[in-house]
Amino acid sequence: MNTKSGKGKVLLKMRDVRIDGFSDERWHEIVKGVDLTLRRGEVMGLIGESGAGKSTLGLAAMGFARPGCRLTSGEIVFDGIDLMAASETEKRVLWGRRIAYVAQSAAAAFNPAHRLIEQTVEATVGEANAAEARQDARELYASLQLPDPDHIGERYPHQVSGGQLQRVMTAMAMSPRPDLIIFDEPTTALDVTTQVDVLSAMRDIVEKFDTAAIYITHDLAVVAQMADFIKVLRYGEEVEEAPTRTMLSKPKQDYTKSLWSVRALAKPEEPADDIALSVENVDASYGGTVKVLHDVTIHAPRGRTVAIVGESGSGKSTTARVITGLLPPSTGRVVFDGEPLPAALRDRSKDQLRRIQMIYQMADTAMNPRHTVGEIIGRPLEFYLGLSGRKRDDRVNELLAMIELDESFIDRLPSELSGGQKQRICIARALAAEPQVIICDEVTSALDQIVQEGILKLLLRLQKEFGLTYLFITHDIATVKAISDEIVVMYQGGVVEQGLKSEILGPPFPDYTKLLLSSVPEMDPDWLTGLIAERDGK
């Protein structure tokens, strides 16, 4: 597909597009004069960190601005139609018929009240015969390799999995056979193992109908599989644009190179025998009926990082809940420093609580939005260590210095911080208790690559300084490579294997580990094609 570049006539042309966003009581320019040309049948990758303006630009290609945004100037011409001048009614004729949109979270983008097939054909039914549209939708489901394509459309959104929903949404976009599809981070919310299937289904169907597409993502390796050429955005401006292979082999700008950085970060593993925390033969269930963990045994050596990997639903976070005492296990025990911990949170002493701390994925929701940074970090100092007044404030400042923020942050509210800064505050809050073990639950998943790198480096430095033991829950293999000494692979509530990083990431592999590792996208534009061919060959 990479030979398609240059074919076909121009479908979408954007010139010097400027878009304002409203925040802090005034308008800011968030897209600052971007040009974009897309020909029929071409796939363009649009990459950048969050806040780079890529979604805003993608929606602008439809002539749409989200509430709180406005298209201020520039030229957007879709197939001869000037979208800047078009009225909402005129644009509505294009939307969903000639230009379709595939949103990031399929679970949120489907209306919970209607059956999938009704939503799939909603844009098409206006023009075509309803029965024909439905039949066509079922065929699309089949070509997207959805299970039971004849009946899956009769289900409601909550009755199918995230990966399936994302494919149904692709079918929905494809249903009216549009000229252009905007894919807005369509696989970001999916597990790597699911992502492979969705990516290849999307790529095949776009190729089959020769549809032009803009593929928005923050993941270079993913976009490399999909796009003919790639445009990199930062702070609302274009950094560079080049054909995919050129972009991967010879990126010109430093910024583009830095997007690879986390993948390059790798810490040498250090074996250790002194076990700080172990989970022994734990079974656990929610409400006594749904068993979610069976016979889980994990050992965490002191001062080391154990990465727990697996897809969503594999029991990673439940294991963390068992360790912290939020979910007492039905059998088995948690041993800390050679002593078994009481199963339930309320039976543990303050000191036992203090020594195991937790950092969460969504720093936003893990902090009280009305507390200042000083109160957030100061609270564990008061609660566990009995510090108050001057002493407490001094310690907060020390902690801020440890996480590389200055004293001016002490009076700020969470809403005044960036995503990376929020996560740093959460790290400081965990550190304040002077713990021995920190459980990190997907702490970098919601962050951009460069910010991720900063957080991971900080965590590694703190580990060295304080001899901390990390249990690092993640689904991202690049993060695992960057931070772990040992790896635990979990699948469907059980442990597949545990061992040193080199043992787990090197052969021989159990089947599931192999599937998981091979599903991680690589920076090679032929990776997906090769992988699918290899899997089909078996």
Query: Which positions touch another protein (CB under 8 A)?
Result: 59, 62, 64, 66-67, 92-97, 100-101, 103, 105, 108-114, 122-123, 126, 155-156, 158-159, 172
For residue 506, the 8-state DSSP code is S
Classify 473 as helix, strand or coil.
strand
Q: What does the angle CA 491 – CA 263 – CA 197 come to, to the nearest 5 degrees? A: 45
Cβ atoms of residues 356 and 324 within 8 Å: yes
CA nearest neighbour of 169 among 179, 181, 154, 151: 181
In the bound state with another protein, the residue whose beta carbon lies nearer, of 155 and 371, is 155
Smallest distance, another protein to C-beta of residue 103, A: 6
* Residue placing its CB nearer to another protein in the complex, 18 or 98: 98
CB of 108 to another protein, least distance (A): 4
If the CB atoms of residues 78 and 229 are measured against another protein, the closer one turns out to be 78
Question: What is the distance between the alpha carbons of residues 54 and 49, in angstroms, rounded to a whole number?
Answer: 8
Residue 112 CB, nearest approach to another protein (Å): 6
Nearer to another protein, 116 or 399 (CB): 116
Peptide bond between residue 508 and the one before it cis (omega within 30 degrees of 0) = yes
What is the rounded CA–CA span in Å between residue 84 and residue 383? 57
Quote the least distance from Cβ 164 to another protein, whole Å: 13
The helix/strand/coil state of 484 is: coil
Closest distance of CB 372 from another protein, Å: 28
Q: Where are the beta strands (DSSP E) in 448-529?
A: 469-474, 486-491, 494-500
- Of 66 and 291, the one with the shorter C-beta distance to another protein is 66
Between 2 and 105, name the residue whose CB sits nearer to another protein: 105
Task: Select from 453, 366, 412 the least CA-distant residue to 49.
Answer: 453
Angle, alpha carbons 462-50-260 (nearest 5°): 60
Min dist CB 39 to another protein, Å, is: 23
* 429: three-class secondary structure by DSSP: helix
Distance CA 64, CA 352 (A): 54
Q: Tokens 């890529």, residue?
A: 54
81, β-bridge pairs: 78
Shortest distance in whole angstroms from residue 177 CB to another protein: 14
Nearer to another protein, 59 or 387 (CB): 59
How many Å from the N-terminal Cα to the C-terminal Cα in the chain? 24
State how far the Cα of 330 lies from the Cα of 92, in Å rounded to an integer. 56
Between residues 63 and 420, which has the closer beta carbon with respect to another protein? 63
- Cα separation, 180 vs 106, whole angstroms: 19
Give the closest residue to 377 by CA, choosing from 365, 393, 391: 393
- For residue 126, the minimal CB distance to another protein (Å) is 8
The torsion of the CA quartet 300, 301, 305, 308, rounded to 10 degrees, works out to -20
CB of 27 or CB of 95, closer to another protein = 95
The tokens describing 283, both together, are 């079974």
Beta carbon of residue 492, minimum distance to another protein (angstroms, whole number) = 17
CB of 361 to another protein, least distance (A): 19
